[in-house]
Chains A and B, each alone.
Chain A
Amino acid sequence: MANLMGDKKASFLRLVEERALSKEEKKKLQDALVPYIPKDCISNVLLRLPLESLQRSRFVCKPWYTIINSLKFIDDHLERSESVLIFISSIKEENLYPFSTRPFAVEKPNTFSVEAKLLQSESVPVLVQPNINPTLKYYIKFLEINNGRSKIGEYSVSCTGHIRAACNGLILLENKLKKGGLIVVNPVTRKLISLPLGTLCPADKESYGFAFCTVTGEYKVVHLFQDELRYFGCEILNLGTRVWRAVNGPSFGLLRWLGCLPVLAIGALHWVPNIDSSDYLVSIEVDKERFHTIPLPKSSRYHDRIVEMRGFLSFVTHEEENQIGVWILKGLGELWTRQLSIKTGCILDMVPLYSLRIKGDMIFKRDEDGSFYAYDFQLQVMRKIEMEQERLKMSGMYHPHVNSLISWSSRERSQDVFY
């Protein structure tokens, strides 16, 4: 009992002493205790933070804000980020009550609506804004595959249209409020821009590619579309500009199928032209904007695909005796070299989907049941991925994606820096 009183007296005395220290002295004491950490170290630490934490860290102080918004940091961060698959999931399906006859669709609170933000930025008066029926909306989500498991991440972002393409963290979204409308969004930073209308075309007769042109430092959207006479036209938009430029499309008859998303690798966008038995690829160089065909080392069959792998273009093909062969093309104008064979765990309907840019694994998806598999090149093991949810409720296609802070224009970026 006496001890307790003694402690209380001591702590009270300490309190009085502390208060007596002037604020200046206190600050000096505090500063002396905290070692100086140079900016490079701070950057190094911040680069390792998960995105939400990084977003918060902007508000610690203005120098940190400047670091996080700097081009170098954003690029370094992109380099370290692992690939994921981005997709949309219908809001209607999310809220299905097990025994209800009618789906009860309500958007989750705190959801950022892409369309609402767009209307806001276009200064449409609030009363005129269409009340978008939630049953027509989608949530944007992503699938992370790591160590044999998958996890679904949410952005709390909703949209009305499908994802048409993805590049460096930016996605190309259909804007269903405007016929033929397109938006480019970064679902992490929630910055978005509406694109000018291009050539209108039914969705099954067109394909979009999205690429970063390293030569000019700009993002380009490539729109391939087929007319009634089955000619393919092509137009390209430099992000930030307001005009689609027509370029020569691929020669008539080369491209017959748009079922596959184009793959961006070695400075070009590549399309597989047929659903089965493709002997070449139809490619457009991002910088020179010219179409070529690239012969494949062997015929690409129904379950074969091209995949971007560590910057190179790979051709992943099913072969005899339940093997999967991987060929690599290191540059346009070079020759395909056979990299390796995957000899274990191959199943005929495994379709190569994408490769993990940091870890290097090749991810496959089976046609039959939608299950995912990962091939580890180092351990030479094919592993079935444990899914977080039994059946993934999603609409449309999976797009290889990376969560980043990238913005499409340097002008946009420079607005966010304190000098």
Chain B
Amino acid sequence: MSNTSENPKPSSSSAKMTLKTSDNELFEVEEAVAMKFCTVKQYFEDEKDSDVAARGSTTVIPLPNVHSAVLATLISYGKKLPQSNAVADNHEEEETKKKERKKYEQGLLKNLMPGELLDLISAANYLDFKEGLEFFNQALADHIQNKSVEYVRKFFGIKNDYEPHEEEKYREEYAWAFEGVDED
């Protein structure tokens, strides 16, 4: 089952690439979007160098560390970003696009389970998808900002390596920082 990109606007480069996820799903993605994943870009450029004839044919790029659900979200986010090869819009068009993107981003975050954020960040990091990382890192920061230390540990799967007496000392010293924390 492959996921075809349904962008009706003709772009300057309608070359498509196929990405294969860890659970063996194939995603057909426009080159412009796939190039935002720098790891993919690197792979593609390496392939280009090694076999000139292979250009144009559908190279399947394996992404063994990325699950299909995660890749789908990242691709979807990537499509919404301003394309680097797009014609410059006037101020009004830019503003409408910005508003659209904001709405999309809010919708995306609302439907996301907090745990999925970590998967998205881990994948975006593996793919070297800078804009995605910026966005999801910010979303994660917004999520944990009012949470307690215990919640954060559980969320990240981190073990508390402080000795009880050390922790007590710090809590006292920084007591004022622990006010206003959400219930877990």
* Chain B positions near chain A (C-beta within 8 angstroms): 115, 118-119, 121-122, 125, 133, 137-138, 140-142, 144-146, 148-149, 152-153, 156-162, 167, 170-171, 174-178, 180-181
Known: A31-B157, A55-B177, A60-B156. 6 other contacts (CB 8 A): A41-B122, A44-B133, A50-B145, A57-B149, A61-B159, A112-B176
Partner of B152, one of A36, A37, A60: A60
Q: Judging by beta carbons under 8 Å apart, are A37 and B170 in contact?
A: no
Beta-carbon contacts of A114-144 to B below 8 Å, as 1s and 0s? 0000000000000000000000000000000
A59 and B122 in contact (CB under 8 A), knowing A31-B157, A112-B176?
Answer: no
Q: Judging by beta carbons under 8 Å apart, are A37 and B122 in contact?
A: yes
Considering the chains assembled together, what is the distance between the CA atoms of A138 and B34 in angstroms? 57
Q: Judging by beta carbons under 8 Å apart, are B170 and A58 in contact?
A: yes
Considering the chains assembled together, what is the distance between the CA atoms of A50 and B177 in angstroms? 11
Partner of A52, one of B121, B149, B167, B180: B180
With a CB–CB cut-off of 8 A, which chain B residues contact A55? 174, 177
Beta-carbon contacts of A22-42 to B below 8 Å, as 1s and 0s? 000000001101111110110
Q: Judging by beta carbons under 8 Å apart, are B140 and A45 in contact?
A: yes
Q: Judging by beta carbons under 8 Å apart, are A30 and B157 in contact?
A: yes
Q: List 16 A-B contacts (CB under 8 A).
A: A34-B156, A35-B122, A36-B122, A37-B156, A38-B125, A41-B122, A44-B137, A45-B137, A45-B144, A49-B145, A56-B174, A58-B174, A59-B167, A61-B158, A61-B160, A61-B162
Q: How far is the CB of A365 from chain B (nearest CB, A)?
A: 31
Which residues of A from 363 to 418 have beta carbons under 8 Å from B? none
* Chain A positions near chain B (C-beta within 8 angstroms): 30-31, 33-38, 40-41, 44-46, 48-50, 52-53, 55-62, 64, 110, 112, 156
A61 and B153 in contact (CB under 8 A), knowing A56-B178, A156-B176?
Answer: yes
Shortest 4 CB-CB contacts between residues of A and residues of B: A34-B157, A48-B141, A35-B122, A55-B177
How many contacting A-B pairs (Cβ < 8 A)?
Answer: 82
Considering the chains assembled together, what is the distance between the CA atoms of A58 and B121 in angstroms? 21
With a CB–CB cut-off of 8 A, which chain B residues contact A61? 153, 158-162
Considering the chains assembled together, what is the distance between the CA atoms of A223 and B24 in angstroms? 69
Q: Judging by beta carbons under 8 Å apart, are A59 and B149 in contact?
A: yes
Q: Judging by beta carbons under 8 Å apart, are B133 and A60 in contact?
A: no
With a CB–CB cut-off of 8 A, which chain B residues contact A50? 145
Q: How far is the CB of A355 from chain B (nearest CB, A)?
A: 24
Considering the chains assembled together, what is the distance between the CA atoms of A85 and B108 in angstroms? 36
Q: Judging by beta carbons under 8 Å apart, are A110 and B176 in contact?
A: yes
Considering the chains assembled together, what is the distance between the CA atoms of A60 and B171 in angstroms? 12
Q: How far is the CB of B119 from chain A (nearest CB, A)?
A: 6
Q: Judging by beta carbons under 8 Å apart, are B141 and A49 in contact?
A: yes
Q: Which residue of B lies closest to A46 (CB)?
A: B141
Partner of A56, one of B133, B138, B141, B149: B149
Considering the chains assembled together, what is the distance between the CA atoms of A35 and B157 in angstroms? 9
Considering the chains assembled together, what is the distance between the CA atoms of A192 and B125 in angstroms? 39
With a CB–CB cut-off of 8 A, which chain A residues contact B160? 60-61
Considering the chains assembled together, what is the distance between the CA atoms of A271 and B100 in angstroms? 48
Q: Judging by beta carbons under 8 Å apart, are B133 and A41 in contact?
A: yes
With a CB–CB cut-off of 8 A, which chain B residues contact A52? 177, 180
